[in-house]
Every structure is written in structure tokens, then in C-alpha cells.
Amino acid sequence: MIDMACLDGRHFTFDPAKTALLVIDMQRDFCDPQGQCGMAGENVALTAAIIPRVAALLGKARDLGLHIAHTREGHLPDLSDLSEAKRLRSRDGGAEIGERGPLGRYLVRGEYGHDFFDQLQPAAGEPVFDKPGFDAFYKTSLAHWLTETGTTHVLIAGVTTECCVQSTLRGAIDRGFYCLTFEDCTAAYYKDLHDTTFRLIVSQGGLFGWAGTSAALFDAAA
């Protein structure tokens, strides 16, 4: 068992054999200046800054024998799984899904921008769940995979904190998993949204589970 200190003074205790690390949407479209969000004017320096920490976290999770899965937000090349409402929101945000940018068509499966950074590529046996929405449980087999692997505890890293990370966290909480979100291995384009999300996570005795840092995990697992 691993017992790690959390940001609000509580502890998160888990059995590595029953714990999964979910790495949410560490894609070029969300973290590269030439990806969808960078071209829309978002501050991707904040999301790119966590790449080395997420890479180190992945290494530790593999050493500990955790179950590991990766998610990617994106759509089929014909955009048949893209709602008109979501398309319009992306257009209003400055980089419409499906339009062509420097890294290929924005958030389209198979494009360079849709894929992970080289240092965050999945290892053999680590599944990738491609999702058309924010919540990684939406229209994917993630819930089935977690059940099949005997997972009871979920660790969450990735981007963006207030969007796909929080949406997936809520989905995991509603399905009965014990969840910890890494404050230093998640990021948003606006620091206040990141900070507010973490205040929400630990509010009311841990409404959405636990919040901690990768450093605390490394210390606990030393």
C-alpha cells in the first residue's frame, strides 16, 4: 500500500495493483503553439510546462505497476461524431474543429496535432481511449476497462484542468472510484481556473476526491 500526503492535510492510500493513472488529452493541439488552442490564442505555455512532470509521473506509475490509460479528444475525419453546437463553439473560440492548421486538421483523429507528444507516447499495453467529448467516459469503453482491470482508485493528470480533467474526474466520482488529481501535473490556459478547480475538488471534505502532487507520490513510494 502507498500512503501519500495531500494538499489539504488528508492522505490518499492506495494499492498499486488496484490503481489506474489516467493521462488526459496530452495532445499537441492543446499544448503546442501551432496546435488548435495555440492558434486560437490560448496560453499554451502553461499546458506545455507540465509535459516533463507528466512524463516523470508516467515513469513512476510504470515502475509501480499501475494500470495506465491515455485519452485523446478528437473526431472522425468526416466529423460525423461532431455536434453542430460543439463545432460552433470551436469556431467562436478562434480555431474551428476540422479546419486545417499547421499541425493538420484541428482535433481530427489521425492528424499530427491530434496525437500525443513524443515523450508521452503510450507504452505497449497501455490503452488509448479516443473520445468525442470532454468526459473520458462519454462514448468510450473506459468504464469497462477500469472494471476489467479491478481498479478501485484513479489518479488523474493532463489538460485542461477545468474542462476534460474535471469532466472525467466527475465521471469517475459518479461511478464510485476513489480519485486523486495531481495539481502539478494538470494545467489550464488560465491559472485562476486551475486554482478554482482545485478549491472545488477539496471543498466540503473532498467533494471530488483528493488533490496532491507528483512529488508527494514520489516521496510516498520511495
Q: Which of 37, 131, 163, 179 is catalytic?
A: 131
Range 109-123 average pLDDT: 98
Q: How far apart are CA 49 and CA 199, in angstroms?
A: 21
Q: 25-66: per-residue pLDDT in tens? A: 999 999 999 999 999 999 999 999 999 999 999 999 999 999
Burial of 73 (0-12, 13-18, 19+ CB in 10 A): buried
40 vs 187, more confident = 187
**Domain 15-220 is found in CATH 3.40.50.850:** yes
pLDDT of residue 88: 97
In sequence order, which residues have a C-beta less than 8 Å from that of residue 209 and are 6 or more positions away? 169, 173, 178, 179, 180, 181, 201
pLDDT of residue 210: 99
Contacts 24+ apart (CB under 8 A), 81-85: 81/132, 81/139, 82/132
Q: Which of 6, 25, 31, 115 is catalytic?
A: 25
pLDDT of residue 111: 98
Query: Residue type for 145, please?
Result: W
Range 71-92 average pLDDT: 97
Rounded to the nearest integer, the mean pLDDT of the chain is 98
pLDDT of residue 113: 98
**DSSP assignments along 150-214, one per residue:** T--EEEEEEE-IIIIIHHHHHHHHHTT-EEEEEEEEEE-SSHHHHHHHHHHHHHHHHTT-EEE-H
Q: Which of 6, 37, 164, 185 is catalytic?
A: 164
List the chain domain ranges. 15-220
Q: How far apart are CA 50 and CA 185, in angstroms?
A: 6
Q: 120-149: per-residue pLDDT in tens? A: 999 999 999 999 999 999 999 999 999 999
3-state helix, strand, coil in the chain (%, to 5): 40, 25, 35
Q: What values do phi and psi take at 55, rounded to 5?
A: -60, -40
Q: Judge whether 25 counts as a catalytic residue.
A: yes
Question: Using N-to-C axis directions, what is the helix angle for 166-174 and 191-206, rounded to 10°?
Answer: 20
Q: Judge whether 164 counts as a catalytic residue.
A: yes
Chain position carrying cell 496535432: 113
Percent of the chain with pLDDT over 90: 99
pLDDT of residue 14: 99
Query: Residue type for 142, please?
Result: L
Q: How far apart are CA 50 and CA 58, in angstroms?
A: 12
pTM above 0.95, yes or no: yes
